[in-house]
Amino acid sequence: MATLESATKTVPSVSSEKTTPRKGMSPRARRQTLAFYTFVAPWLLGFVFLTIIPLIVGFLTSLTNYDGLNVFNLKFKGLENYQRILSDSDAIFSIGRTILWATLNVPAWIILSLILALILNQDIKWRGFFRTLFYLPNIIPVVATVWVWKIFLDANNGVLNAIIRVFYPDLTIRWLSDYALPSLTAISVWGGLGWGMVVFLAGLQGVPDELKEAARIDGANAIQVFFNITLPILTPILFFMLINALIGSLQAFVIPLLLGSGGGQASVPPRATYLYMVHAFRQIFVNQRYGYSTALLWSLSIVLLTLSLVVFWSSRYWVHYEVAVEEGEGKA
- Phi, psi (5° rounding) for residue 76? -75, 125
Average pLDDT, the chain: 85
- Distances in Å between the Cα of 202 and the Cα atoms of 91, 121, 188, 195 are 39, 10, 22, 11
Domain boundaries, the chain: 85-318
Count the alpha carbons within 13 Å of 60 in the hemisphere toward its beta carbon.
7
SS3 state of residue 76:
strand
Residue 328: the pLDDT is: 44
pLDDT at 329 > cutoff 80: no
Confidence band for 11, pLDDT divided at 50, 70 and 90? very low
Residue 188: the pLDDT is: 92
Q: Which CATH superfamily is domain 85-318 in?
A: MetI-like (1.10.3720.10)
Instruction: Give the span between the Cα atoms of 98 and 250, in whole angstroms.
Output: 6
- pLDDT, one tens digit per residue, over 206-231 is 888 888 889 888 888 889 999 999 99
Instruction: Give the span between the Cα atoms of 205 and 208, in whole angstroms.
Output: 8
Instruction: Give the span between the Cα atoms of 278 and 250, in whole angstroms.
Output: 11
Across residues 274-302, what is the average pLDDT?
91
How deeply is 113 buried, as exposed, middle or buried, from its count of CB atoms within 10 A (0-12, 13-18, 19+)? buried
Residue 7: the pLDDT is: 46
Instruction: Give the span between the Cα atoms of 130 and 118, in whole angstroms.
Output: 13
- pLDDT, one tens digit per residue, over 114-145 is 999 999 998 888 888 999 999 999 899 988 99
pLDDT at 20 > cutoff 90: no
Instruction: Give the span between the Cα atoms of 236 and 322, in whole angstroms.
Output: 10
Confidence band for 324, pLDDT divided at 50, 70 and 90? low
Instruction: Give the span between the Cα atoms of 150 and 159, in whole angstroms.
Output: 10
Q: Across 11-25, 34-48, 256-270, which has the greatest mean pLDDT? A: 34-48
pLDDT at 166 > cutoff 60: yes
Give per-residue burial for 201-223: e unless 16+ CB within 10 Å, then b. bebbeebeeeebeebeeeebeee
Instruction: Give the span between the Cα atoms of 253 and 263, in whole angstroms.
Output: 11
Q: Is 40 left (phi over 0), alpha (psi -120 to 50) or beta?
A: alpha
More confident residue, 18 or 139: 139
Give per-residue burial for 12-40: e unless 16+ CB within 10 Å, then b. eeeeeeeeeeeeeeeeeeeeeeeeeeeee
- pLDDT, one tens digit per residue, over 51-103 is 999 999 999 999 998 887 877 888 898 899 999 999 999 999 999 999 999 99
- Nearest in space to 303 (alpha carbons), one of 280, 274, 271: 280
Say how many C-beta atoms besides its own lie within 10 A of residue 271's C-beta: 11
- Nearest in space to 115 (alpha carbons), one of 205, 194, 192, 197: 197
Residue 104: the pLDDT is: 92
- Phi, psi (5° rounding) for residue 330? 95, -5
Residue type for 80, please?
A: E
**Residues paired with residue 64 on neighbouring β-strands, in sequence order:** 76
Q: Tell me the pTM.
A: 0.81
Answer whether 194's CB lies under 8 Å from 135's CB: yes
Percent of the chain, pLDDT > 70? Answer: 87
